Amino acid sequence: MGVYHINGGRRLNGQLNVYGGKNAILPILASVILNGSESIIHNCPKISDTDISIKILEELGCAVKYDGYTMSVDSSSADIHSVSTTLMREMRSSFIFLGGLLGRFHEVTISYPGGCELGERPINLHLEALRKMGAEITEASGFIKCKADDLKGARIDLSFPSVGATENIMLTAVLAQGETIIGNAAREPEIEDLQKFLNGMGAKVAGAGTSQVRIQGVKSLHRVEHTVMPDRIVAGTFLVAAAITGGKILLKNAAPEHMFPITYKLSEAGCTLDMKEGSIYLEAPAKIRPIELLRTHPHPGFPTDMQPQFMSLLTLASGVSVISETVFESRNKHVAELKRMGANIILAQDGTTAVIKGVGKLHGAVVESKDLRGGAALILAGLAAEGKTTVTRSRFVERGYIKIEQDLAKIGADITYEKADDKA
C-alpha cells in the first residue's frame, strides 16, 4: 500500500499487453470448490483481490500454487464451509463464495461482504434465489447461514440483471437436481467466461451472454483447465490514458468484441480506433470532444467501472458533457478530488448526474483515492495535469490493476510508487 507520484504533461505512446480480468477471475476462483479436484487457471491477474480469494480458498482447505500467471487449485481436501469475517470484509466479491460452498457442501456460514463503498448493493436477490432452490436461510448478528438437504432447480426471474446474483445462482445450480433457469440474467462477458469454466469441469450451462441462462444440474464435476478472458476495464483505462495525454497506444491480448460500449464513446470523444482480433489501436485527437450524454447501464450498456475514467477525460473536452450514473449512487466520490485539480464539474444533489465543462488544463494536487475506479481516474487526470500529482491510498487501485505505475511508465508516463501506510 502506498501513494502514486505523477509528473504530468507527457504524451503517452507505445504498446501494452492486457492481462486477465478481475471481474472474471473472482467468480472462477469461487467456483473451483465445486469440482473437488484440480483446477488449472491461466492468465490470472496478480491483484490484491486475487490474493484475498487465494486466502479464502486456503482457509477452506484448498491447496493453491501460483507459478507466474498460472494458478493451480486442488479443492479435493476442502472441508470447511464458512469464510472468516476478516476476509469477507476485504472485498465485495467475496460473497460469490456463497454459491460455490452451498453447491458443494449444502451448508455455508458467511458474513456480509466489504469492499469499495459505492452505495447500496443489496444481497436480497441472491438470497431469494437460493430460497427458491431449497435453501433455508437465517440472518443474525451479521452472519448469513444457508442450509439445504436437497438443492433443486427453479425458475428465477431477477428484478435487476445483477452480475453477482447471476453468478451465485449459476454456482449453486450446477450440482442441483433438475434445471435452473435465470431470467433477466446479467449479460456481461465475464458471465460467459464463467460458463466456459464451469462447462470445462463438466457442468451443463447455456445462454451466458443473453438474458436467459439455463443450468442443467449434474451429479459430479471433474478437473478443468481454463484461460481467463482479458480485462476490458483495464484495457479501457489504458486507452483513456493515451487519449487524455494526446497520445497513441496499441493494446495486445485485448478483446475488442467485449469493449464496444467503451470504444464507441472514445470515438464520440474524437479518438481514432482500429480494432482487430486480439488488439486495439487508439490515436487521440488534437482536442477531446465533449460527449452529450454518457449513461451507465448493465452490459451491453456503458460499464459503470469505466465512468470515473471517462469523467477525467471529459474534464479536458472542448465543451460540456453530461454523465448519468444509474448503477451505483455513490460512484462519484472522485468528483471532489478532480475539482481540486481544476476540473469544472457540477454534481446534482442526488450525486448521480454530473455536468462537466471542459477546462484548458488541469493542475497537479494531492488527491485521495476513495475506491478502485475513482483512484484510477485520478491517476489518469494526473498524467494530463501540469505539475506534480500525488494520489494517496493505493490499496484501492491495487485491487484491480497490476502495478499500474509500471505499465504507464512503459509508454512514457513519469509515475512512481512510494510505499506508505494508507490504511486510513
From CA 218, how far away is CA 173, in angstroms rounded?
9
DSSP-derived letter for residue 27 is H
Rg of the chain on CA atoms, in Å: 21
Dist. CA 305–CA 373, nearest whole Å: 6
Q: For residues 261 and 303, is the Cβ–Cβ distance under 8 A?
A: yes
How far is the C-alpha of 232 from the C-alpha of 226, rounded, in Å?
18
Residue from 350, 314, 359, 358 nearest 332 by CA: 350
d(CA 104, CA 167): 15
In contact, 322 and 293? CB cutoff 8 Å: yes
Q: What is the distance between the alpha carbons of residues 311 and 376, in angstroms, rounded to a whole number?
A: 11
Helix (H) or strand (E) holding 266: helix 260-268
Rounded CA-CA distance 247/239 in Å is 9
Q: In what order do the strands lie in the sheet with 320-324?
A: 294-295, 320-324, 353-357, 344-347
- Coil, strand or helix: which one is 53? helix
Count Cβ atoms below 10 Å from residue 361 Cβ, excluding itself.
14
Would you say 185 and 210 are in contact if contact means Cβ atoms under 8 Å apart? yes
Are 78 and 52 contacting, i.e. CB atoms less than 8 angstroms apart?
A: no
Examine the residue annotation and report whether 271 is marked as an active-site residue of this protein: no
Residues 44, 62, 116, 146: which is the catalytic one?
A: 116
Bridge partners (DSSP) listed for residue 155:
181
Q: What angle do CA 12, 19, 214 make, to 5 degrees?
A: 135
Distance CA 308, CA 331 (A): 8
d(CA 211, CA 187): 6
Beta-carbon contacts of residue 349 (< 8 Å; ≥ 6 apart): none
Sign, Cα dihedral of 307, 301, 400, 239: negative
At 65, phi and psi to the nearest 5? -125, 140
Which residues belong to the active site? 116
